[in-house]
């Protein structure tokens, strides 16, 4: 391990509202919890990357928390046509008519690059995204690249104990389940953040329990959460499903500090000679 990170106490909560085709309400809820955690963070942000970005209350709260910010948005792929134009106009007005960037999630997944210059944003705000990435470590590297010195990455994603009810003995053999692309727990993420040169990671986790009266609604929500393989669209509904789904939600934030330092080798950081200030006679006079 390259350093230490903080783990906050895990907690649990119960929800009865179904997602039904979309995880919008869940995104809103998790984004709200992330914003509450930002309340105690000292940060002055002018440029904010929201990835993925979606219609919800988080933009209003970010605008209030950081007056005068400029949004750089990565809209969900499901937004298209008029909805995308309206969404982009909303972010433009939220940025107080400042020029803002529209980032393509599809392009990122193809190229592995966030279409922003180096050292261009103060905050990366990522909600429920990393569990669907085959290479989350590369995503952390891109976040490090686009963050300014002293910038903050704050994120949330589904952990490996998500939907453990569907993986129970007997039921797992009947269901076309899909493993999370990156089944990292909060310890894995804390270590990965340190490995990618982020400073002072703070990790937190909680379980959310979703209760169901209908097997069909649970099945639909499992699809919306990408817990089922592609063949689930054609498969028949199992005769017996659990009455709840447990979501393991992992939260974390970490700072981009010391960006002028070269990547550490053997736990030693090397400094570019051009970064070393020299004291002259006039300085000491």
Whole-model pTM: value is: 0.82
List, for residues 209-263, the tens digit of each pLDDT value: 999 888 888 888 888 888 887 776 666 676 678 889 999 999 999 999 999 886 6
Q: What is the torsional sign of CA 237, 24, 148, 252?
A: negative
List, for residues 80-128, the tens digit of each pLDDT value: 665 666 666 777 666 664 666 778 888 898 899 999 999 999 999 999 9
Where residue 112 sits, what CATH number does that domain have? 3.40.50.150
Domain carrying residue 276:
6-284
Residue 37 maps to a domain: yes
Q: Give me the chain's average pLDDT, please.
A: 80
Residue 282's pLDDT is 45
Higher pLDDT, 282 or 103: 103
List, for residues 123-138, the tens digit of each pLDDT value: 999 999 999 888 999 9
Domain total of the chain: 1
Residue 31 maps to a domain: yes
Question: How does residue 266 score in pLDDT terms, banded at 50, 70 and 90?
Answer: very low
Query: Encoding tokens for residue 135?
Result: 């290479």
Residue 1 maps to a domain: no
Query: Read out DSSP for the chain?
Result: --S--EEPPPEEEEE----TT--HHHHHHHHHHHHHHHTT-----SEEEEEEE-SSTHHHHHHHHSTT-EEEEEE-TT--HHHHHHHHHHHHHHTTT----B--HHHHHHHS--SS-TT-EEEEEE-S-GGG-S-HHHHHHHHHHHEEEEEEEEEEEE-TTTTGGGGSTTTTTTS-B---SS---HHHHHHHHHHTT-EEEEEEEEEEEEE-S-HHHHHHHHHHTT-B-GGGGTSPPPS---SEEEEEEEEEEEEE--TTBPPPBTTB--B-GGGS----HHHH-
Residue 237 maps to a domain: yes
């Amino acid at each position: 391990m390259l350093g230490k990170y903080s783990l906050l106490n895990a907690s649990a909560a119960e929800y009865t509202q179904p997602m039904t085709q979309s995880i919008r309400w869940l995104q809103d809820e998790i984004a709200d919890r992330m914003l509450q955690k930002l309340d105690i963070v000292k940060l002055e942000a002018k440029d904010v990357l929201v990835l993925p970005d979606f219609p919800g209350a988080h933009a209003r709260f970010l605008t209030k928390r950081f007056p005068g910010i400029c949004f750089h948005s990565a809209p969900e792929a499901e937004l298209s046509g008029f909805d995308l134009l309206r969404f982009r106009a909303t972010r433009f007005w939220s940025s107080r008519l400042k020029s803002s960037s529209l980032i393509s999630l599809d392009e990122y997944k193809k190229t592995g690059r966030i279409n922003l210059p180096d050292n261009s944003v103060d905050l990366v705000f990522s909600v429920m995204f990393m569990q669907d990435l085959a290479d989350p470590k590369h995503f952390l590297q891109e976040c490090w690249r686009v963050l300014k010195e002293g910038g903050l990455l704050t994120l949330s994603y589904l952990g490996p104990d998500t939907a453990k009810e569907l993986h129970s003995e007997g039921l797992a053999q009947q269901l076309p389940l899909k493993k999370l692309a990156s089944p990292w727990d909060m310890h894995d993420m804390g270590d990965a953040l340190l490995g990618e040169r982020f400073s002072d990671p703070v990790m937190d986790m909680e379980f959310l329990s979703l209760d169901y009266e209908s097997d069909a609604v649970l099945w639909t929500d499992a699809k919306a959460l990408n817990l089922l393989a592609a063949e689930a669209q054609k498969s028949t509904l199992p005769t017996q499903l659990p009455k709840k789904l447990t979501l393991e939600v992992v939260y974390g934030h970490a700072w981009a500090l010391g960006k002028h330092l070269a990547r550490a080798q053997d736990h030693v950081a090397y400094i570019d000679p051009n970064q070393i200030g020299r004291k002259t006679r006039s300085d000491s006079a």
